[in-house]
Amino acid sequence: MSHGITRKWITTNLLLLVLLLAGAEILFVSSQTQSYYNAVRQAIHNRYSSIAGQLQVTGNSETEATDTSQARALFLRSMVEQFDAKDRFELMLLRSGGQVLASSSGRIAGISVPEDYRLALESDNGRGESVYYSTAGEKVMAVTYLVPYAAGDIQAIRLVTSLTLVDAQLTRLFQVSVGVCAAILLFSVISGLFFVRGIVVPLGEVEASTRRIARGELDARIEQEYEGEIGRLCESINHMAEELGRSEQMKNEFISSVSHELRTPLTSIKGWMETLSRLPPDDPHYQKGMEIITSETQRLYDMVEELLDFSRMQNGVKLQCERLDLVAEVSDAALMIEARIAGQGLHLSYEEPELPLPVWADRNRLRQVFVNVLDNAVKYSPPDGTIFIDLLQDGESAFVEIRDQGRGITPEDLENVKQKFFKGKNSVRGSGIGLAVVDEIVRALDGEVNIASTVGVGTTVTIRLPMLGAAGPVPQSRPPG
């Protein structure tokens, strides 16, 4: 992973920077070369302009045209001999055909017809330029100007200057700019590596920790504290590990409490079976034993049903909804639990409302909701306590309120009672999935479960369901029309 980021950074950022710098370098060097060569060109031209200016004046006072022409030729020849800028330029005179007539350097022989002379002949302004390496291996710029006036046998003036100094300067400039580019590149590499390290190192730690968590070491945490996004990622992973640990612990507690719950009726069944095997069928205890075995078996069956149901519900609650009267459903549930309430010396306060409360719901699931909540109310009620059931309508919602006078739930537990496998500190028995199932079903019916409780006073569970026919969110399972 870490190699991936580094490689990606090199191939994208670094490569792009190298390309950009190379482009800038090429542009810079070529523009500098251009401007330096232009300056040389200008110096040559200035020199030529001054010669041409003097040439124009020469012979103007003469009357004969041939004399004027000769005078100019003479002037040019003397100029070549006394040329005062020999150290910078070489001044040459060319005759028609390109042969050198005279040169300020004194060298005439061996010079072939120069390229710039040919170009001057071809050009419109009588000027030709060439850059080449002289026989001495020196790079030079040569410009030939065709003399605009008749000057004896002289057809052109040629000025040659060395480019060695200019090129040396350009080379220095090139070296400095390459140095600057290298410094920029080095700085980017160092700062980039710092940046990449700032991601790669924490990511490595995150990777190691998540591997440990995946292996089941749920107490693994990322200890180092980082800032920004990486810090938040580490926090999320630590939180995830914490939650995983919590759910693992809850799962273990769930398994142990379920096993315990299953063992109680099994112990009783086993005990009675042993007793019955020694008793004749007409013994008065025989019948009682059979009844207990039957009721304990039923309890086991119900418990296993509840567990199976819960496990099925983990893949989403499947509902078979129909139009129901909430009043009738609550009355049925009350009737079912009434015997248990009376059996435990409790009282039930329920007044059936006269008007129906139509809802769109699954009958069996709804019954499961009421039975679970009422079962808790019975479980946690003190002897002689009363369980109140109220039905209310408010706007587009119907409310079922189940209130007990039991021991209540502490505020810390109240936050978690709807979570699966959660059992409060006050829990007497159960697997911790009752309210989780209630919440899941009611939410699937577009409703809501609210639990209010005061320790020592009692608990009120309020179930809100949308009423049928009222405007509002249409449950997915509602039939068309």
CA 345 to chain CA centroid, Å, is: 62
Separation between Cα atoms, residue 428 and residue 42, nearest integer Å: 106
Residues in the chain: 481
Choices 17-25, 65-73, 139-147, 404-412; region in contact with ligand ADP by CB under 6 A: 404-412
Would you say 72 or 407 has its CB closer to ligand ADP? 407
Neighbour tally for 323: CB within 10 Å: 12
Closest of 347, 346, 323, 350 to residue 334, by C-alpha: 350
Number of residues that bind ligand ADP (CB under 6 A): 23
Would you say 116 or 306 has its CB closer to ligand ADP? 306
> H or E segment at 392?
strand 386-394
The answer to whether 427 contacts ligand ADP (rule: CB under 6 A) is yes
Among 202, 406, 447, 466, binds ligand ADP (CB under 6 A): 406
Would you say 161 or 376 has its CB closer to ligand ADP? 376
DSSP string, 189-249: HHHHHHHHHHHHHHHHHHHHHHHHHHTT-TT----S---HHHHHHHHHHHHHHHHHHHHHH
Tokens of 441: 């079903």
Strand partners, 325: 358
Residue type, 16: L
The answer to whether 447 contacts ligand ADP (rule: CB under 6 A) is no
Choices 13-21, 194-202, 337-345, 421-429; region in contact with ligand ADP by CB under 6 A: 421-429
The answer to whether 226 contacts ligand ADP (rule: CB under 6 A) is no
The answer to whether 423 contacts ligand ADP (rule: CB under 6 A) is yes
Strand partners, 359: 324, 467
CB of residue 200 to ligand ADP, shortest distance in Å: 46
Please say whether the beta carbons of 53 and 45 come within 8 A: no
Name the residue with tokens 């003097």: 54
Neighbour tally for 481: CB within 10 Å: 3
Residue type, 286: Y
- Site track for ligand ADP across 352-391, x = CB under 6 A: ------------------------xx--x-----------
Among 404, 441, 449, 468, binds ligand ADP (CB under 6 A): 404
CB of residue 456 to ligand ADP, shortest distance in Å: 11
8-state DSSP, 317: -
The answer to whether 417 contacts ligand ADP (rule: CB under 6 A) is yes
CB of residue 320 to ligand ADP, shortest distance in Å: 24
Would you say 2 or 419 has its CB closer to ligand ADP? 419
Contacts to ligand ADP by CB under 6 A: 376-377, 380, 404, 406-409, 413, 417, 422-424, 426-427, 430-436, 459
